[in-house]
């Protein structure tokens, strides 16, 4: 079923399932350099989330890879905080995606529909991202990308790369260069041959070999592996301001860095397609692995104007190469129960190798998808490793169907707790009605609570949460913060349990103690309220400011029309999200759990409105057509200045910025006596006037 035909319930169920998969793959890929799936399969999982969140913005979640970059750095290396976050890229898989990207660029910048957008196209290297900091032209620090905010200190390792400059030809005061470390195919083959001869395990591919070689505590091992690199960007550059991406790459090459020669300028979907086709044709002949092409808006002033969303820059996209398909057999169909009770069917497959990657599971989405494709246990199916959902069952090979085959019957009771299930009247998702009675939902909510984008309690991962829950140590969030006190009086101390010890128990309790101090945004997100992902949590934190105000407003919203309208006026908060919150606060068990939790925490107020600007803390509504900047750009700038951007006008609105053809919002502002500004007055107010 196409994503836009999914109901919110179906979309939410699929979203939760994908998040758990990708978090698992992130740990394997970024921390252990031992991925279980190919880049194509992993990228397609991300693409599905991007498509889901584009169609259902309320799904935006910090647990979603669309809001994250990489994974937390390994504890084996020192930590390095990036001067500017190292973001990842959104993906394109066809000409339509590229066309949509260019259209978004024009729309954001307010360009004419037919105005060319010059882009620099470069190979997407299948390696390990890094940053290298230079001060006064001298190399001083190197780091991996890590989680985008904090990476691993690989200063000495990076210096061993082939042709890596210790000094630049020019000496800007400070520059942080970014690039990709890779291993040449010939060096990879030689390394594996040597390891095989020595009886050691061989690397699966050059990317794994490069990542494993760079992240060595023994720098001499890194030096022996002949690692290479390309640079493609800068994070911070004090002393040099390029006019274009192309000029930047040229300048970096002049400073002594290795830059990729396969870079080309193109200014249309067709021109970009030609560069992509040519690159795909020579892909096999290159001495390094690539998995697509990166497209970047060439003008750096446009890049600065466009900025970034949570995970990705708005001005760049990765145009990925297509993946492969294979046939295998469905051995069983299991049904998983998510945090919100959604039942998601998963096909257990006879493991099949596709392009060197073993695939053993595939999503079946929901009951309607199973019926539409007539998927049965025992069927031979075609598995696709790219597309909207990966791994995905594309079709059934009916000619190979067993004679005793029978249609699959979707369970009408929760497979975990046995509670009745109900189907969304507007969709295909079945949901367990047991609520917090269902152990699966209890455990999944606890996992969500301690997840990285929520309370981020190191040492309290999914498996530990499951163990603590089974043993009765934690049943709700407040139990986490009383665990140490209860452990001291326990006859079975945590440190004495199998797999634990004094140090590991001490580290866990220290992490829990540190987690007591949490931002309002993380706190709201951690509660696991349906339709409240990280994006919506941030909007709520910005609007209400502190936890007491937010909790009281949510309690009042179900019976107070003014409070509800104030909630709905927040730009980005829709009716589904608003009603999900009122439903949460109408549930006595949820409120009791919340009230037990709050005294144990220090929830810091939101500081996003603390920017020193004339509109800091002010509520602004934009209406009509703006001429000097797009509405998206205006909203982003207002928020960066600490303003609260609302979607509707109320008595609490401070300014209405009215462009051309302003309609009902302008009329309501005049009726309420709200200050109305034209575009020039708004720009003058924020210091951008002529």
- Please list the active-site residues: 124
DSSP string spanning 60-104? --TTSGGG--S-PPPTTS-EEE-SS-----EEE-SHHHHHHHHHH
- What gap in Å lies between CA 430 and CA 309, rounded to an integer? 33
- What gap in Å lies between CA 326 and CA 362, rounded to an integer? 12
* Token pair of 629 as six digits: 């900047």
Torsion of CA 631, 637, 643, 647, to 10 degrees: 20
Q: Quick check: helix, strand or coil at residue 30?
A: helix
Alpha helices in 215-322 (DSSP H): 219-223, 245-254, 269-282, 300-306
- What gap in Å lies between CA 337 and CA 344, rounded to an integer? 7
- Residue 83: CB atoms within 10 Å: 12
Torsion of CA 308, 311, 316, 318, to 10 degrees: -170
Strands 90-92 and 430-432 turn out to be unpaired
Spatial CB neighbours of 518, under 8 Å, sequence gap ≥ 6: 455, 526, 601, 602, 603, 604
- What gap in Å lies between CA 337 and CA 431, rounded to an integer? 8
At which residue do the structure tokens 């790219």 appear?
386
Torsion of CA 57, 63, 67, 71, to 10 degrees: -170
- In contact, 401 and 327? CB cutoff 8 Å: no
How far apart, in Å, are the Cα atoms of 10 and each of 59, 324, 393? 11, 27, 17
Count Cβ neighbours within 10 Å for each residue of 351-363 and write b for 16 or more, e otherwise. Answer: eeebeebebeebb
* Token pair of 685 as six digits: 């107010």
- What gap in Å lies between CA 199 and CA 192, rounded to an integer? 10
How far apart, in Å, are the Cα atoms of 15 and each of 391, 510, 636? 14, 32, 26
* Token pair of 461 as six digits: 């991962």
- In contact, 246 and 265? CB cutoff 8 Å: yes
Alpha helices in 516-613 (DSSP H): 520-526, 534-544, 547-557, 561-568, 575-586, 588-597
- What gap in Å lies between CA 477 and CA 487, rounded to an integer? 16
Strands 119-125 and 290-297 turn out to be antiparallel
Q: Quick check: helix, strand or coil at residue 626?
A: coil
- What gap in Å lies between CA 191 and CA 210, rounded to an integer? 11
* Token pair of 338 as six digits: 């998510």
- What gap in Å lies between CA 228 and CA 519, rounded to an integer? 41
- What gap in Å lies between CA 440 and CA 448, rounded to an integer? 12
- Residue 128: CB atoms within 10 Å: 26
Angular region, 328: left φ>0, alpha ψ -120 to 50, beta rest: beta
Q: Quick check: helix, strand or coil at residue 391?
A: coil
- In contact, 132 and 304? CB cutoff 8 Å: no
């Amino acid at each position: 079923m196409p994503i836009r035909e999914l109901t919110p319930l179906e979309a939410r169920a699929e979203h939760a399932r994908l998040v758990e998969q990708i978090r698992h793959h992130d740990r394997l890929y970024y921390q252990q350099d031992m991925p279980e799936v190919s880049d194509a399969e992993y990228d397609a999982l991300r693409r599905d989330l991007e498509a889901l969140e584009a169609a259902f913005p309320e799904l935006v979640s910090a647990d979603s890879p669309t809001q994250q970059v990489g994974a937390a750095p390994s504890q084996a290396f020192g930590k390095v905080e990036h001067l500017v976050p190292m973001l990842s890229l959104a993906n394109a898989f066809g000409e339509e995606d590229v066309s949509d990207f260019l259209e978004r660029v024009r729309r954001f910048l307010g360009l004419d529909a037919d105005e060319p957008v010059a882009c620099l196209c470069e190979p997407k290297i299948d390696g390990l991202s890094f940053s290298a900091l230079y001060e006064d032209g001298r190399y001083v620090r190197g780091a991996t990308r890590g989680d985008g905010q904090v990476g691993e200190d690989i200063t000495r390792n990076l210096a061993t790369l082939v042709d890596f400059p210790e000094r630049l030809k020019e000496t800007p005061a400070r520059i942080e260069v970014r690039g990709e470390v890779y291993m040449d195919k010939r060096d990879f083959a030689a390394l594996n041959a040597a390891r095989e001869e020595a009886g050691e395990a061989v690397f699966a591919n050059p990317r794994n070999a490069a990542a494993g070689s760079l992240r060595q505590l023994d720098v001499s091992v890194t030096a022996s592996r002949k690692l290479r690199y390309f640079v493609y960007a800068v994070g911070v550059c004090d002393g040099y301001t390029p006019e274009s991406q192309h000029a930047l790459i040229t300048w970096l090459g002049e400073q002594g860095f290795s830059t990729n020669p396969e870079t080309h300028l193109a200014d249309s979907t067709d021109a970009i397609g030609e560069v992509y086709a040519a690159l795909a044709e020579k892909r096999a002949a290159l001495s390094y692995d690539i998995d697509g092409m990166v497209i970047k808006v060439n003008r750096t002033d446009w890049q600065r104007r466009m900025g970034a969303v949570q995970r990705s820059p708005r001005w760049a996209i990765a145009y990925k190469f297509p993946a492969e398909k294979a046939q295998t057999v469905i051995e069983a169909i299991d049904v998983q129960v998510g945090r919100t009770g959604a039942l998601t069917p998963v096909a257990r497959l006879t493991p099949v190798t596709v392009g060197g990657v073993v695939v053993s599971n595939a999503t079946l989405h929901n009951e309607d998808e199973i019926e539409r494709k007539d998927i049965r246990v025992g069927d031979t199916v075609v598995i696709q490793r790219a597309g909207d959902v990966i791994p995905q069952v594309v079709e059934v090979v009916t000619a190979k169907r067993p004679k005793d085959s029978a249609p699959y019957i979707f369970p009408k009771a929760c497979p975990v707790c046995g509670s009745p299930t109900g189907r969304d009247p507007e969709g295909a998702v079945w949901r367990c009605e047991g609520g917090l009675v269902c152990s699966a939902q209890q455990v999944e909510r606890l996992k969500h609570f301690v997840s990285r984008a929520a309370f981020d309690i190191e040492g309290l991962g999914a498996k530990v949460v499951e163990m603590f829950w089974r043993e009765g140590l934690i049943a709700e969030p407040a139990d986490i913060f009383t665990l140490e006190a209860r452990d001291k009086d326990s006859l079975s101390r945590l440190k004495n349990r199998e797999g634990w010890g004094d140090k590991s128990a001490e580290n866990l309790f220290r992490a829990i103690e540190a987690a007591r101090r949490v931002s309002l945004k993380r706190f709201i997100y951690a509660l696991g309220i349906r339709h409240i992902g990280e994006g919506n949590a941030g909007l709520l934190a910005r609007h209400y400011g502190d936890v007491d105000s937010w909790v009281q407003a949510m309690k009042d919203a179900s019976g107070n029309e003014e409070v509800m309208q104030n909630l709905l006026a927040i730009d980005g908060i829709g009716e589904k999200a608003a009603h999900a919150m009122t439903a949460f606060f109408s549930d006595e068990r949820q409120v009791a759990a919340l009230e037990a939790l709050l005294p144990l925490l220090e929830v810091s107020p939101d500081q996003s409105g603390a920017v020193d600007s004339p509109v800091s803390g002010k509520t602004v509504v934009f209406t009509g057509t703006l001429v000097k900047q797009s509405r998206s750009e205006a909203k982003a700038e207002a928020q960066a200045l600490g303003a609260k951007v609302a979607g509707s006008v109320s008595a609490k609105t401070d300014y209405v910025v009215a462009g051309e053809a302003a309609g009902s919002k302008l009329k309501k502002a005049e009726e309420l006596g709200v200050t109305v500004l034209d575009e020039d007055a708004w720009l003058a107010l924020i210091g951008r006037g002529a």
